Chains A and B, each alone.
Chain A
Amino acid sequence: MFEVRHIDKTYSPGTVQETCLFRDFSLAIEPHSFVAVVGSNGSGKTSLLNILCGSIDVDQGTILMNGEDITRMKDYKRYRKIGRVYQNPALGTCPTMTILENLSMADNKGKRFNLTGGVNKKRIEAYKEMLLPLGLGLEDKLSVPVGMLSGGQRQTLALLMATMTPLDFLILDEHTAALDPKTAELVMALTDRIVREKQLTTLMVTHNLRHAVEYGDRVLMMHQGNIVLDKGGEEKKNLKVEDLLGLFNTISIECGN
């Protein structure tokens, strides 16, 4: 369960650039649900993710994780239960370190980063088994620095790294946006599989309306810091891409885009 209650957030308060993004904003995400969030640029989608993960602070209101108030908790502590994949494939991996080193690090999340060996040789077979079904040939490139991989390969790896250890939440920040359509489908299918297998509570921001409708069990549309559409359960099952697109266009016209 992830929840924000009555939050206010204003950027650059007291300056000419002052913009109020959220005012008395509340949202609850049910355990094990896959929530897809769509909305135009500047609607507050990514800010919402950053507020949940602690990258930015709120001015007012509370943030709850599994019932615990985490409003003042440092970002890195929140990630003990959160996995996150960014839009930029470069952000989820370490380019100068090899695939094996990257996976080993991710594998150690939640444990101590002490002075024992960085790579656990016994786990190498398990990593290969994990990479094999992807069909990207990564299992043979364990000692290749990640910086030499393609964007799709890196993003796939980033997704695996983010979800290797036991987690409650997965935050996906337009994680297929920088990929070509074919790779995007591949990464999306893999995402869905992992989320179902691990029963993760997932919040996915996307510009791809079809992905939102296809994979989300609940779809939200945000606009200027407000939720303008919230369809879950039976309502969501009847939701079509065209409906979303229609609403999206109406809003955009209002804004003069």
Chain B
Amino acid sequence: MLLSILEQGLIYGILALGLLITYRILDFPDLTVDSSFPLGAAVSAVLTVRGMAPVWTLFFAVLAGCLAGLITGLIHVKCHVRDLLSGIITMTGLYSINLNIAGKANVPLFGGDTLFKNPFTRAFPAFLAPYATLLIILVITLIAKLLLDWFLSTKAGFLLRAAGDNPSVVTTLAQDQGRVKILGLMIANALVALSGAVMCQQQRYFDISMGTGAMVIGLASVIIGTNIFRSLRFMRSTTMALIGSVLYKASVAIALQLGLDASFMKLITAVLFLIILVISQFRPKKVRLHV
């Protein structure tokens, strides 16, 4: 039970890292996510079926995610379309792209090796074998988290944080805030696509409906994580997002265990979401600025 919560929580944790960038750092409500998640999955599934080593498919999934973010960014920055709408446009278009990449709405991977079932994992000693999946997920998630932590501490990362915090500072630093936003969207969607690819490898199938509600899950994870632990100043927000994601999946698992009628699941998610958001409003508001 705990094992599957951790597995799912950490996979969706990568998605939460992506949303941390768009929602928390850039303050950009990016709906691209609902399509870049299955995009990563589609790319990974198709390349795996074609015989590529599953671990390499992750790189292509990341690349595809970058492109999705780039498109949303260009629509927003260059065509001056509002943030929410730019995401919706990309999300809608990507749906068709995903379907065409996959070739059909559902691609199973039961036939061959996957990231979690291959000669390498079969060589795990017996006592470790049940944890093989979790270990691999943990390694991938930690790599993603540490890379993101590192990036946010670089000069380029500072600029990204500044762009969400106070865009006018970026401009007065003689930097193009549009480019910074595009970069942020690319990194965010790369993480989301990676999450989708790992999910697809773990559940061993791609389904076009995989992305439904991905943004809500990621957003809930970020909000749960950053609000529960907001008093802990030493904890990084990336860590908070990952724990938030695990907690979110744990609450779904508990709801299932309690025999909750699944038809109420979405309503409960929505109510939970609202409660956390309302509670989080009691914190000092971030100053919104416009020149």
Contacts and interface: CB of A to CB of B under 8 A. Distances in A.
Interface string B138-169: 00000000000001011111110110011011
Contacts of A109: 173-174
B158 A97 contact: yes
A72 interface: no
Given A76-B174, A79-B171, A115 B165 contact: no
A110 interface: yes
A110 B176 CA distance: 12
14 contacts: A79-B172, A88-B289, A90-B166, A92-B172, A93-B169, A95-B287, A97-B161, A97-B165, A106-B173, A109-B173, A113-B159, A113-B173, A115-B155, A115-B156
Contact of A94 (B169, B175, B284): B169
Interface residues of A, number: 38
Interface string A145-161: 00100000000000000
Contacts of A91: 166, 168-169, 289, 291
A218 B173 CA distance: 28
Contacts of B170: 76
Q: Is the interface of B mostly helix, strand, loop or mixed?
A: helix
Nearest to B173: A109
A86 B157 contact: no
B114 interface: no
A118 B155 contact: yes
A96 B174 contact: no
Contacts of A181: none
A23 B4 CA distance: 70
Nearest to B171: A76
B201 interface: no
A75 B171 contact: yes
B165 to A, nearest CB: 4
A80 B174 contact: yes
A110 B174 CA distance: 7
Contacts of A210: none
A175 interface: no
B177 interface: yes
